[in-house]
Structure 1
Amino acid sequence: LAALAVLAACATETPTSTELVPPPEGRGFQLDEGDFNLPAGEEGLYCMRLPVPASYGDRPLFVRQIESRLPAGTHHFFMAYNTEPVDEQVGCFPSGPYVSTAEADQHDGGGGKLMFLSGEGEYSYTLPEGYAFYLPTGAGHLVTSHHVLNTGDDEREMYGRFNVHTAPAEEIAHPINQLNCLLQDIWIAPHSESTVSGTCMAPFDLDLVVLASHAHQHLRRFEMLLEGELIYESKDWDSPDIVTLAEPRRMRAGDGLEFRCTFRNDGDQWIVFGTGDYGEMCAIMSQYAYPPERVNEVPPSLGTIIYRDGLAAELVETTDLDGPF
């Protein structure tokens, strides 16, 4: 890992300020999902639909950088993009923006395709020059999926602030899209430590640009290996590393990207795939581009689900499929 060239991937566990200086006019916009209070001992999902500013019209957006400010009590945070228009900020659920864990899928509260993930604290990631995340139209909206958990004895004040930095199309030669792999076969016996793994196979030549991961509170270590070489490691389940590669890593068609999650179960029940006190996940949540010679070509979103520990599955195009992947 010491040999990895990291362009920009930083996080601090405790935010020093909720304030963000907005991007320059015409180069981005700021989003605020609002403030809310989380009672002691409660777990839930706060989800808002936030429109893209009308000044962007219906032309494509190219996102080069995202900054976030999220407080302690953030279990994890996903930002997704939805092509449907909304006129104003609105909660994702009939009852409003917040529901308890039992009432919603904690990983797909408002629909759309994932574009950014974050943990608590101050996060920022910036793509290499000429690269940007592609959004097909500014007429859509962004969805905040803020999974929160208060393990303390006092009520917590919660919030979410974000800067979305954009670039004009003429500055972007290499649009990027998401690449996600999810392992659903997780069984960790009580009072034990164990590693589960899966491998996702490239359907065509591609370049990995951003490496990131997702798991829950029992995680001890998340690893990615490309052709046997360790290219990513994170040991923080609630503030996973987001690694932007200064030099994208090539995957040839048929190459496998292996991922491993090591979990520790100190409880009296089995840990299984899912949410809650004994629920876990193990997923690659990364981004990729076509090789440099395919200038200005927009790649499809790619994803796959691996149903058995240790097996491999080919990534498939998910652009027109429902779900966050």
Structure 2
Amino acid sequence: MVLALLASCGGDSSATSGGGATTVPVPVPVSVTPTTSAATFARVQTDVFTPSCATVGCHVGSAASGGLDLSAAVAYEQLIGVVPTNPNAKADGLKRVVAFKPDSSLLYHKLIFPAGHHASDYGNVMPTGTGGLTVGQVEYVRQWIAAGAPKTGTVADPILLADRTAQTALPFAPLIAPAPGAGIQLKVERFDVVPNFERELFTYRKLGNTAEMFVSRIETSMRPFSHHFLLYTMAPNTPALAVPQPNAVRDIRNPDGSMNVLNMLAMGYHVYFAGAMTPQSNYVFPAGMALRLPADAAFDLNVHYANHTTGTVPGEAYVNLYTVPASQVTRALSTLNLANNSFTLPAGQRTVIEKSFTFPAQTTIIALTSHMHARGERYQVMLVRPGQPDQMVYDNRDWEHPAMVTFATPLVLERGQGLKSVVTYNNTTAKAIGFGLTSDEEMDIIFGYYY
């Protein structure tokens, strides 16, 4: 099915790059004058949250990303001791902010630019589309948390906010390809993203496999500023006109920001295979399980980069598909694509849309994720068994970074049972909105893996 353009957060900054460690674009702090009379949290708000986070389309208002509103009136109460909506952070026992414990605070993890500083997938480093906060800003936030995260009082040195040193990241290193016979590597070649622009493109790659393959592990790596990297196959009913030309780069935006409808044609026939919304990911299927790919398989690779700086940044993405012999596969997996493409969201109100999907035969689901656009506030998936109360098995409040939830005990649905999507939208516009491909429209899709 379809996955359309997603928005991103961030502010203006300047960019430089060179060899060795990469110097990332530096956000300009709102205030760099030390003010000892201001409470530390007040400075966190004015120098960090308000200019970089509590912006339109990000962490502000009723549709705030991740259900976290960082506007001045509510930010403190939304942070301290609050369980995050990110399932991986929640499973690791993190809270948005834990007094005295920066390493147990998701906020702190989300501000550290170097990718891979924690083992789990907590989503992109924030603010998205920038080089991250300065070293001084991050240290100021860390000291505030370490001192107990008080709402009043001065507990961190405000001179830190004058430190505009950029956070640095290790040089981008392409993924090492799987050994011969162990898998296949695909990539999106390096490209430029001009200042203050979001570039999303597709390129259709043939794998060149002469026999079927079974994928047991999917590893991805992207340069900084990435929003997502997705792999799609084409639906069996795709007309020849909509099958992309191999290896051509298809931008969905023209240089003036308008949409290139012709390059979006294939999106209507996409079938989700795999994806990542973080610079690095490594998804391993449970033992004995693998995704089957037919001979002569192909993927439409989709990358989205958001550059909210004043300098050009490079984009690039790699994916390794690790394979196992058919003899090691006890369960061949398929991708789940359950879309509700017939709904209307009235103007100026909050609406809950429900859609049930019944399975004609026993189905075992090992993982689920979801997709909605910016007006989606909450995406729930319910297990529907006739004669029994519906059971919630998936809950996502972050439309930009929906987690892929792998079930320790797979969900077994018998014939006649199914899943139901329950999606809460808040249409704040003056016109009705329905299902569509662009970010001005909405979506309601359950993705997953099953056998």
* Distance in structure 2 (CA, Å) of the matches to 1:154 and 1:190: 38
One-letter amino acid matched to 1:200 = F
User: Cα–Cα, structure 1 residues 11 and 110, in superposed 2: closer, same or farther, change >3 Å?
Assistant: farther
Of the three residues 124, 129, 141, the one matched with 2:282 is 124
Question: Do the aligned partners of 1:83 and 1:140 also contact (CA within 8 Å) in 2?
Answer: no
Question: Do the aligned partners of 1:208 and 1:250 also contact (CA within 8 Å) in 2?
Answer: yes
Task: Give the alignment's TM-score, normalised by structure 1.
Answer: 0.72
Question: Do the aligned partners of 2:203 and 2:246 also contact (CA within 8 Å) in 1?
Answer: no
Q: Counterpart of 1:241 in 2: which secondary structure? A: coil
> Shift of residue 130 of structure 1?
0.5
One-letter amino acid matched to 1:33 = V
Please name the residue that 1:35 is paired with. 190
Please name the residue that 1:302 is paired with. none
Question: Do the aligned partners of 1:75 and 1:148 also contact (CA within 8 Å) in 2?
Answer: yes
Asked which structure has the greater CA Rg, the reply is 2
The residue correspondences of 1:246-261 to structure 2 (distance < 5 A) are 246-261=408-423
One-letter amino acid matched to 2:191 = F
The residue correspondences of 1:172-191 to structure 2 (distance < 5 A) are 172-191=329-348
> Shift of residue 124 of structure 1?
2.6
* Distance in structure 2 (CA, Å) of the matches to 1:82 and 1:183: 19
Spell out, residue by residue over 1:243-271, the C-alpha distance to the aligned partner (whole angstroms, 9 max, x if none). Answer: 22232210111112011222233444433
Structure 1 residue runs without a partner (length 5+): 85-90, 290-325
Question: Do the aligned partners of 1:78 and 1:118 also contact (CA within 8 Å) in 2?
Answer: yes
Q: Which has the higher contact order (CA 8 A, sep 6+)?
A: 1
Spell out, residue by residue over 1:154-188, the C-alpha distance to the aligned partner (whole angstroms, 9 max, x if none). Answer: 54432222121111111101001112111123433
* Distance in structure 1 (CA, Å) of the matches to 2:344 and 2:320: 38
Structure with greater helix percent: 2
What percentage of residue pairs aligned between the two structures are identical?
21
The residue correspondences of 1:1-325 to structure 2 (distance < 5 A) are 10=121, 12-14=123-125, 18-19=172-173, 20-40=175-195, 42-43=197-198, 45-52=200-207, 57-70=209-222, 74=226, 76-81=228-233, 92=244, 96-99=248-251, 100=253, 101-104=259-262, 106=264, 108-109=266-267, 113-137=271-295, 139-148=296-305, 155-227=312-384, 228-289=390-451
Question: Do the aligned partners of 1:31 and 1:161 also contact (CA within 8 Å) in 2?
Answer: yes
* Distance in structure 2 (CA, Å) of the matches to 1:215 and 1:265: 13
> Shift of residue 279 of structure 1?
1.1
One-letter amino acid matched to 1:201 = T
Task: Give the alignment's TM-score, normalised by structure 2.
Answer: 0.53
One-letter amino acid matched to 1:272 = G
* Distance in structure 1 (CA, Å) of the matches to 2:319 and 2:247: 24
Structure 2 residue runs without a partner (length 5+): 1-84, 92-118, 127-168, 237-242, 254-258, 385-389
Question: Do the aligned partners of 2:380 and 2:395 also contact (CA within 8 Å) in 1?
Answer: yes
RMSD of Structure 2 on Structure 1 (CA):
3.4
Q: Counterpart of 2:421 in 1: which secondary structure? A: strand
User: Cα–Cα, structure 1 residues 74 and 274, in superposed 2: closer, same or farther, change >3 Å?
Assistant: farther
